[in-house]
Amino acid sequence: MQESAYFSSYTPTPNTWDEMFGADAQIRDHYQKVIRYLGNESIEELNKKEDLAKRLFMSQGITFTVYNSGEGIEKIFPFDIIPRIITGDEWAFVEKGIKQRLEVLNLFLKDVYSNQFIIKDGIVPADIIYSCPHFLREMHNVKVPYDIYVHVAGIDLIRDYDGTFYVLEDNLRTPSGVSYMLENREITKRLFPDLLPQCGVRSVTEYPNILYKNLLSLSPRQIPNPTIVLLSPGIYNSAYFEHTTLARLMGVELVEGRDLVVDNHKVYMKTTTGLQQVDVIYRRVDDEFLDPLVFNPSSVLGVAGIMGAYRKGNVAIVNAIGNGVADDKAIYTYVPEMIRYYLNEEPILKNVPTYQLGNPDEAEYVFGNLNKMVVKRTNGSGGYGMLMGHAATQQEMDEYKAEIIKNPRDFIAQPTISLSAAPCYMQGQLTPRRIDLRPYALVGPDGIEIVPGGLTRVALREGSLVVNSSQGGGSKDTWVLI
């Protein structure tokens, strides 16, 4: 198996699914071609490729800014040059599972904002829904086009020690990272000429076209060229690069809240030739900041009166407002039950077992086993405010426990799942690092489409299980084979 010098120190992590190595220390078939290709490259060449990748990210401005002592410092999101590879069969399974899940989550949102059968039938308890800060009464009985609430979803998947896929969380509000899926692929084309077609890697370039087609279909006005805009919080937002990339690839206008104005329940943008009516808004501004008249009154990122225009059906907003109730981590627990309730099917993708700290019995069990648990806030994201039981000190655990007792509904706990590992190129060697997978699903009137690929995030620190970019994570190009 020693096909390349880069393996001399590659020791698969014990009790972990290794994406490249099989149980008998054989390289899995789908990694063979890449490993052979790498075997023909010297360390100098690979280092050069790593440098080229950094330079390309830098010169294209694919950076985020860290503000330090008054001056912005541009940093790139770390990129590992070795692709993460998914077989056609694995992908078919994931795709089917995500479609099932999204269909149900859309049904759930429609139900919870109208008849609430799921509460009346006792499947999801009312208090869990009404105590969720993202459940917005303002959305009750609002008719959204085609009953689609989730148009863009980024469902995070992880793999346990035996390779089983689990859903870690559903991101149904404004999931980000898709520009990295697209850019990582562009970089790989430059780094490894000819390798992509040789390996039979499926293309991801259709993403912006599908998104555009879906946005177009939502226009409330039946006119030849409806105005579609992407609403961004502006250049200081950490995902700003993504907003510009998507706007450019779709050929739509990138607007900020201050560019829009509402008059007589219609949304307009301010142009050099007067006001122009806006039909569809792909917004990357959170619910809370969208309309200062309805939500956070101090928000300057939103547009006053936009909620009124939305309720009247004069403008389509993507994703719908109030989706947070469906990706809340406490409600996540009930998704398998929802699938059985709405579709009468068994869930294809498994949930990670989750304990509600709002439930006294479950809380007692969690407190007794805190060192084996990951505790999260139900409405948190970005890896902030988490307790990793296996790595925490007694003092950290005590402090966190005190926080939980103040407001148990806001927390859930999950047993530590040991994320799968994939080879990363580090200082001239391949070394295993933990990864997850976020495929991007697009829901439109014609159904659910998932481009074959996604964002693979890597925990670059040795032994770390946290892949969030805010916590020292990086990313890899993600290949789905035919």
Partner 1 sequence: MLSRVASSLYWMSRYIERSDGMLRMLKINYASSQDTIQTFTWEPVIRIFAGLRDDHEIAALGNDSRSVLKYMVLDRENPNSILNIITLARENARGVQELISKDLWQCLNEYYHTVRSPGIAFMLEKDDPITALDTLIKQGMLYYGTLEITMERGEGRGFINIGKFLERGIQSVDILDTKFGSIDDNPNLLTDTSYWKHLLLSLGGYEIYLKTYRQGFEAENVLEQVVLNNDFPRSVIYSVNHIQRYFDRLKHESNMPEFRDLSFLIGRLQSSIKYSSVKSIRQDGLHDYLTNIRSELFKIGDALNQHYFAYS
Q: Which of 63/87 has CB closer to partner 1?
A: 63
Q: Which of 26/276 has CB closer to partner 1?
A: 276
Neighbours of 244 (CB within 10 A): 16
Q: Give the total residue count for the chain.
A: 482
Q: Which of 109/182 has CB closer to partner 1?
A: 182
**H-helix or E-strand containing 228?**
strand 228-231
Take residue 315 and report the two structure tokens written for it.
Answer: 């403008």
Handedness of CA 28, 30, 31, 35 (dihedral sign): positive
Neighbours of 24 (CB within 10 A): 6
Shortest CB 59 distance to partner 1, Å: 5
On the 0-12 / 13-18 / 19+ scale of CB atoms within 10 A, 388 is middle
Q: Which amino acid belongs to residue 34?
A: V
Question: For the chain, what is the radius of gyration of the CA atoms?
Answer: 23
Neighbours of 360 (CB within 10 A): 10
Q: Which of 153/255 has CB closer to partner 1?
A: 255
Nearest partner of 144 among 117, 110, 105, judged by Cα: 110
Shortest CB 149 distance to partner 1, Å: 26
Q: Which of 9/69 has CB closer to partner 1?
A: 69
In order, the DSSP letters of 8-46 are: TT--PPTTS-BSSB-TTSPBPHHHHHHHHHHHTS-HHHH
Shortest CB 366 distance to partner 1, Å: 45
Nearest partner of 165 among 417, 379, 416, 344, judged by Cα: 417
Q: Which of 275/465 has CB closer to partner 1?
A: 275
Shortest CB 186 distance to partner 1, Å: 11
Shortest CB 243 distance to partner 1, Å: 8
What distance in Å separates the CA atoms of residue 322 and residue 414, rounded to the nearest whole number?
25
Q: Which of 246/459 has CB closer to partner 1?
A: 246
Task: Note whether 217 and 284 are within 8 A (CB).
Answer: no
Q: Which amino acid belongs to residue 340?
A: R
Angle at 257 between CA 254 and CA 263, to 5 degrees: 110
Shortest CB 473 distance to partner 1, Å: 24
Q: Which of 40/68 has CB closer to partner 1?
A: 68
Shortest CB 69 distance to partner 1, Å: 12
Shortest CB 408 distance to partner 1, Å: 44
Residues that bind partner 1 (CB under 8 A): 58-61, 71, 230, 234-235, 240, 244, 247-248, 252-256, 258-259, 269-274
